[in-house]
Amino acid sequence: MKELGLENSKSYKKSARVVGDVMGKFHPHGDTALYEAVVRMAQDFSLRYPLVDGQGNFGSIDGDPAAAMRYTEVRLAKISSEILEDIDKDTVDFVENYDGSADEPKVLPSKIPNLLLNGASGIAVGMSTNIPPHNFKELALSVIAQIKKPSISIDELLKIIPGPDFPTGGTIHGSKDIIRQAYETGRGIIKLRGTAYVETESNSIIITEIPYQVNKSKLIEKIADLVKEEKIKGISDIRDESSRDGMRIVIDPKRNEDPNVILNNIFSLTSLSTSFGIILLAIDKNKPKLMGLKNINQCFIEHRFEIITKRFLFELNKAQDRLHILDGFKAALDKLDETIKMIRNSKDPSVARESLIKKLKISVVQANAILELRLQRLTGMEQEKIFDERNSLIKRIKEIEKILSDDNEINKIMINELEELIKKYGDERKSKIDDRDLGGISVEDLITEEDMVVTITHEGFIKRTATTSYRSQKRGGVGKTGATSKNNDFAENVFVASTHDYVVFFTSSGKCFWRKVHELPESSLTARGRALTNILDLPEDEKIRAFVSLRDFEQDAYLIMTTRSGIIKKTKLEEYSRPRANGIIAINLKSNDELIAVRTSSGSDEILISTKLGQAIRFNEDKVRSVGRNSMGVKGISLKGDDFVVSSEVIKDSKTQILTITENGFGKRTEVEKYRLTSRGGKGVTTLKITEKTGKIVNAFQVDNETDVILLSSVGKANRLKASEISIIGRATQGVRLMKLNDETWVVAAAKLTEEKQNSE
């Protein structure tokens, strides 16, 4: 293109002209391959700094092909002049082309480090290279820093070049160690993500940048296919609103869907999040080498040192040749009359040449130059110009010789050139660097956070069901079909937890397991779920007896455990954060005892224990000292006869109410202050008047006016009602009917929905 005169300041020429000349003079490859190379060098989404200035259709990031070469026009980009500068000053070696009809350079005398600037990708026999593009300003500054300090470390270079800079932008994720490894060893894998955000007003997902070498239209097609296959749920529409102003892909979520979860699924399942394997392999001195950033910079520095040296040698030779001529002119001008006389008296030019050489003691070249000197140069002013030019050349030759004799002078010139180039081509980074190491998206990022009703049957089946499946009813309703009775199995326990919470399971023998709620099987209201033995590594003789849902184990809290026989134990929560597959010991139990309830506490709360026969005791938590995991605990309540504990609550607010529910569907709310504070280990007070009509107590837990309550019957009926519909009455009362039951049906479980759930609804 330079030979064709296609500089950036000149007019465009047809691409076909360039391709034809290359094919005829330099590379006898197919015109398709040659044109594809021209097209790629003109695409601003393929090269960080395009080397060809194209006019016409050169393809798109959607994968659209360029127009035929007869339609498009090209010329050199401005930055290409820096790659070709000084090529005609003997700075690089030339070799014959394929047929010996022309010469071509082995390398180009590039002033810019194009290998790292625009990157490279290729596969050869047994090896491959994949060099990412970089930012010009950062790259040039790193070379300058290495010239000034050859012993510079990789860490110091990383402060200047934090990572690659891709033409399509995006965000590079990963710790500095990953990028450092790639720049030090020549190999590494970085994670690259497109840029996307959730628009506040519309709740839509907006994608403004995609990873390098990702096809935009194929990305959109992939998202659409995943929606059809129901691998990504909650998307109502996908639109490509990209224009000349930039990229804009709009994804509209369905109503009430979390756009952040959808976006995380897109990152996880599509090329919007991808990896770039860095392989810094290049040919150095005709041998392929895997090099680090510092090595590549050093190769460029040595290359530029050689080019600058050869450029000055070329200039020095030219100056010396010219000075030689001017010295001849001076010799002639010093004896001007004698010189003119010799030329006039000579028979022919050869005789004149011999005379001048002999008389003036000059060379053949000088003699020829004198003979070719025009007469006008003999005027006084022209003679003065010759002497001035000679003096300037003498001065310049001394300067060049000084530069060539001192490596530091060449380094200074190299630095000055790079600084000038930074002013001309330096720009801001397009790719952002995020030090967070993604390490893959966590499962929670792909799951919408919502409350789930977790149900466990008498026979040990578990499931989770969205709370929205339980519609609210008035007090006294017949209920909605819930966990269907099958093989005399029925729902025995129910609690509510977020999909992102941990569920810590405590067995009847005092062992502890945990799982995330989203790991539990999701089933419909009428399904039994899945056997717990398939989810937890439970021995055959063990059953789950207590549960607690947690956000994390790092909080400064305690677990309060209560057993069937009234034993209570207090242990730091963090002691249960590292369970094994076969469980860990939560509490040591006597052979005839079972774990009934587990609650979290702050360390300064109150505890209320309720029994099957209607007794309850309330005491301060500080009456129970904290012990280790393997301890047994202390007495919380004294029991009479065949009575046993059915629930244990940690009271954090003295204004709260206790909802007590019986087997026959009766219940009542009682203010917790009605239960007087006593010492631990007492017999307690009456919490509900037990009669044949009410049946024995099933559960007792804290509620307020905003709490929703779910009741499950032995035949699988579920009823959901507001706690505010249940009367607030005294302790020693029977309560009111909450759920209609027949003679062969009883309430087996009761639970409340969290306050957060009420707010979100």
- The 10s digit of each residue's pLDDT in 604-615 is 899 999 999 999
Residue 390's nearest CA partner among 303, 331, 476, 314 is 331
Q: Does residue 83 surpass a pLDDT of 80? A: yes
Share of the chain above pLDDT 90, in %: 51
Q: Does residue 444 surpass a pLDDT of 60? A: no
| Interatomic CA distance for residues 389 and 330, integer angstroms | 11
Give the mean model confidence (pLDDT) for residues 418-426.
Answer: 95
| 717-722 sheet: strands from edge to edge | 480-481, 717-722, 708-713, 747-752
| Beta-strand relationship, 451-457 and 461-466 | antiparallel
pLDDT, residue 490, reads 55
Q: Does residue 740 surpass a pLDDT of 90? A: no
Residue 486's nearest CA partner among 541, 516, 523, 536 is 523
Tell which phi-psi region holds residue 203, choosing left (phi > 0), alpha (psi between -120 and 50) or beta. left
Give the mean model confidence (pLDDT) for residues 413-420.
Answer: 96
Count other Cβ atoms within 10 Å, centred on residue 200: 7
The token duo for 54 is 């194209």
| Average pLDDT in the chain | 86
The radius of gyration of the chain's CA atoms, rounded to the nearest angstrom, is 43
Question: Residue 469: pLDDT band by 50, 70, 90 thresholds?
Answer: low
pTM for this model (two decimals): 0.65
Q: DSSP class of residue 133? A: P
40-49, 132-141, 255-264, 562-571: the lowest-pLDDT one: 255-264
| Beta-strand relationship, 432-434 and 171-173 | parallel
Question: Residue 206: pLDDT band by 50, 70, 90 thresholds?
Answer: very high
Question: Residue 452: pLDDT band by 50, 70, 90 thresholds?
Answer: confident
Say whether 98 is catalytic: no
Give the mean model confidence (pLDDT) for residues 684-711.
Answer: 88
Alpha helices in 602-747 (DSSP H): none
Element holding 281 (H helix, E strand): strand 281-284
Q: Does residue 317 surpass a pLDDT of 80? A: yes
pLDDT, residue 434, reads 84
123-132, 309-318, 326-335, 544-553: the lowest-pLDDT one: 544-553
Residue ranges of domains in the chain, CATH in brackets: 13-87 (3.90.199.10), 195-271 (3.30.1360.40), 306-420 (1.10.268.10), 449-760 (2.120.10.90)
Give the mean model confidence (pLDDT) for residues 178-198.
Answer: 92
pLDDT, residue 132, reads 95
Give the mean model confidence (pLDDT) for residues 21-31.
Answer: 88
Marked catalytic residue, from 71, 183, 470, 558: 71
Q: What is the 3-state secondary structure (H, E, C) of 29-45?
A: CCHHHHHHHHHHHHCCC
pLDDT, residue 484, reads 47
HSE (CB half, 13 Å, CA atoms) of 253? 26
pLDDT digits (tens, 9 = 90+) for 351-405: 888 888 888 888 999 889 888 888 777 777 788 888 898 999 999 999 999 999 9
